[in-house]
Amino acid sequence: MSDFDDFEQGSTTRVPAPVTGLRLPSVDLVVVEGKDRGKRVTVQASLSRIGTAGNCDLVLTDPTVSRMHCELRVRAGTMTVKDHGSTNGTYVGGARIRDADVPAGTVLRVGATSIRVDVGDAPSFVEVSPRTSFGELVGASLPMRQLYAVLERVAPMDTTLLVTGETGTGKDVVARSVHAMSRRNAGSYVPIDCGAIPEALFESELFGHMRGAFSGATSDRRGVFEEADGGTLFLDEIGEMPLALQAKLLRAIETRTVRRVGGNTAKRVDVRIVAATNRDLARRVNEGTFREDLYYRLAVVEVSLPSLRERPEDVPLLAQHFYDKLSPGAGPLPQDFLRLLASRSFPGNVRELRNFIERSVSLGFVSPHGPPSAPPPSVERPHAELDDLVPLHLPLKDARQAWTERFEEVYLRAMLKKTGGNVTRAAELAGVSRRFLQRLAARLGIRASDEGA
């Protein structure tokens, strides 16, 4: 049991309960060696940042420490240290770490500085919402209810929000839900995928252009800032934005004005910005590929979405939610299907879970009529049209993942069939390691012995 366990709120279990708060330990960061020796800060928040940048919680002057060197995150019962790609690394007990759980009392070495991390005696109180959903977001786990408590507070305001989290954890859903729950919901919600725009078109996409501004600009056109006037602009994959454009974006956010490419007047826009990334933006700041000032401008409030691994108790709830949407009135999911879900991992998070449910329903593996059949059978449809195979009813990212999974499944089954279920030979044929193939089979719910038969 770690020292942090003492601070987990007394009677709350991981099962959703109508609690309204969670006591988290404050963290004392004490510099025990290096240029800033003797410096000490108490952080009463679940996230503490260490680095030489002025906005860090522990600001160091040691030149061997990076701007945003590393962070400490306290969640119920655990403390995690994550290095943001610092130049000189973060070490615990002589070992370089990237992302690791550490106990209280740990001494972290960052550059030429050593910091002891203690549990403070001024616990902070983190709000937990009693909700089990927020807008389109579904989930009743503690981390989700902590998130709802923050969203409830910030959604009605115009606060700029940075949403981080692994792929498929629901960052788009957060942005949409925040817009829907804001007083701007009569205005437009305009999403833009910064990772999908060619660099040459970026400025015109954001700010618009005037006719004749460049070849191909045959008429005046509004950019997304103007389209979102009075509403919300969702800048997805913000980590992919080219450096040169970041300065222009920053100016637009600070001045709340935009100037179309080829135009000479600035127009005022009233836009709320929500940005999202699955990248470690602090790492990008250290690498010099993301502007630090833009980072702080966007992260006025930063919310981090938990992966599905961190909230397995949400899997049945989400599964039922997707099932209800696919088969209205079909009733509860069968217990053995729920057991199958519990035994499976979803590295693609909620997106992968949703696709899995959809595939299972379309293949008849779960159905309101009668008991489930064997694990999802492979349906060979060699003559199907491409349009039939591509799940056109899904958003692009969901469809792409569903397609990839379907491809992996067909491919893997074929390899196993060819080799009579021999995993080693199938891996050789596929040019991957045996372990990789086994992991893939487990993830897709394929049993090698069934395929070879």
Residues forming contacts to ligand ATP in the complex (CB under 6 A) are: 136-139, 165, 167-173, 278, 318, 350-351, 354, 397-398
What is the closest distance, in whole angstroms, from the C-beta atom of residue 144 to ligand ATP in the complex?
A: 7
What is the closest distance, in whole angstroms, from the C-beta atom of residue 171 to ligand ATP in the complex?
A: 3
Q: How is 115-159 classified by DSSP, letter by letter?
A: EEEEE-SS-EEEE--S-SEETTEE--SHHHHHHHHHHHHHTTS--
For ligand ATP, the closer CB: 145 or 259:
145
Query: Coil, helix or strand for 173?
Result: helix
Q: Decide: 65 and 130 in contact? Cβ < 8 Å.
A: no
Q: What is the DSSP letter of 307?
A: P
**What does each C-alpha distance from 110 to 37, 74, 105, 314, 344 come to in angstroms?**
13, 19, 16, 36, 38
For ligand ATP, the closer CB: 114 or 320:
320
The strand ranges marked E within 180-231 are: 189-193, 208-209, 221-222
For ligand ATP, the closer CB: 194 or 416:
194
For ligand ATP, the closer CB: 57 or 172:
172
Q: In what order do the strands lie in the sheet with 27-33?
A: 40-43, 27-33, 113-119, 107-110, 90-92, 95-97
For ligand ATP, the closer CB: 151 or 340:
151
What is the closest distance, in whole angstroms, from the C-beta atom of residue 191 to ligand ATP in the complex?
A: 10
Measured CA to CA, the distance from residue 301 to residue 157 in angstroms comes to 11
Q: In what order do the strands lie in the sheet with 99-101?
A: 58-59, 47-51, 70-75, 78-83, 99-101
What is the closest distance, in whole angstroms, from the C-beta atom of residue 326 to ligand ATP in the complex?
A: 12
For the record, the structure tokens of 62 come out as 């040691």
- CA torsion sign for 251, 257, 259, 265 is negative
For ligand ATP, the closer CB: 221 or 397:
397
What is the closest distance, in whole angstroms, from the C-beta atom of residue 133 to ligand ATP in the complex?
A: 7
Report phi then psi at 387, rounded to 5: -60, -30
What is the closest distance, in whole angstroms, from the C-beta atom of residue 148 to ligand ATP in the complex?
A: 10
What is the closest distance, in whole angstroms, from the C-beta atom of residue 139 to ligand ATP in the complex?
A: 5
What is the closest distance, in whole angstroms, from the C-beta atom of residue 66 to ligand ATP in the complex?
A: 25
For ligand ATP, the closer CB: 29 or 353:
353
For ligand ATP, the closer CB: 106 or 304:
304
Measured CA to CA, the distance from residue 202 to residue 266 in angstroms comes to 18
